[in-house]
Amino acid sequence: MLSAQSLALIDREVAKYPADQKRSAVMGALRIALEERRSTGETPEARCLNQEVIEFVANYLEIPPVAAYEVATFYNMYDMKPVGKYKITVCTNLPCALRGGVNAAEYISHKLGIAIGETSSDGMYTLLEGECMGACGDAPVLLVNNHSMCSFMTSEAIDKKLAELK
């Protein structure tokens, strides 16, 4: 179900923990599984985690499926719902809001024609509001697909970024 490359990455995670504590690797393993689905999935449904993948990861780590499932649903960066090719998460928490975080989210919403929480009908973009990303000095801040942080996102910077995300 996952590529050899993903499994090798998961093995690297497993090696970080004591031999009898493979469960510790579940967070990394789910991230790696999600990354594979995001990069290979052709539709919003194919880009998120689902029960099958979670069970696969659980079996791979020899833990009960529910143990992996509860982790996937507890941490908010795991996509459990269909998601666009580009998931844009804008921080609107107080320190960011004081420097344009809310304006940035509204600007993107207007430009993409989707409300916060929605995915565009062509399946290209999902717009989310995020909580503190630990980069308040760089506000407005947004994340693209969980891992790429973009700092100082003025309207011009957003225009440029969206032009790249095609």
Partner 1 sequence: MAVFVNGVIFDGVDTAAADAWRLDAYVARGGYQALRKILDSKLPQEDVIAEVKNSGLRGRGGAGFPTGLKWSFMPRSFPGDKYVVCNTDEGEPGTFKDRDILRFNPHSLIEGMIIAGYAMGTKAGYNYIHGEVFAEYLRFEEALEEARKAGFLGQNILGTDFSFELYAHHGYGAYICGEETALLESLEGKKGQPRFKPPFPASFGLYGKPTTINNTESFASVPFIIRDGAQKFLEAGKPNNGGTKLFSVSGHVNRPGNYEIPLGTPFSTLLEMAGGMKDGKKLKAVIPGGSSAPILPAEIMMNCTMDYDSISKAGSMLGSGAVIVMNEDVCMIKALERLAFFYHEESCGQCTPCREGTGWLYRVIHRIANGQGRPGDLELLDSVGNNMAGRTICALADAAVFPVRSFTKHFRHEFEYAIEHGKTLVDHKWC
Position among 1, 149, 162, 165 found at the interface with partner 1 (CB under 8 A): 149
**141 with 135: CB under 8 angstroms?**
yes
Residue 165 makes contact with partner 1 by CB under 8 A: no
> Is the Cα torsion angle 132, 137, 142, 144 positive or negative in sign?
negative
Q: How many CB atoms lie within 10 A of CB 106?
A: 14
Q: For partner 1, what does the binding mask look like between residues 8 and 47, x meaning CB under 8 A? A: --------xxx--x-xxxxxx-xx----------------
Residues 40-99 close enough to bind partner 1 by CB under 8 A: 63, 67, 70-71, 74-78, 92-95, 97-99
Nearer to partner 1, 43 or 67 (CB): 67
Least distance in Å: CB of 74 to partner 1? 4
Question: Nearest 5°: phi and psi at 144?
Answer: -105, 125
**150 annotated to bind ligand:** no
List the binding residues for [2Fe-2S] cluster.
91, 96, 132, 136
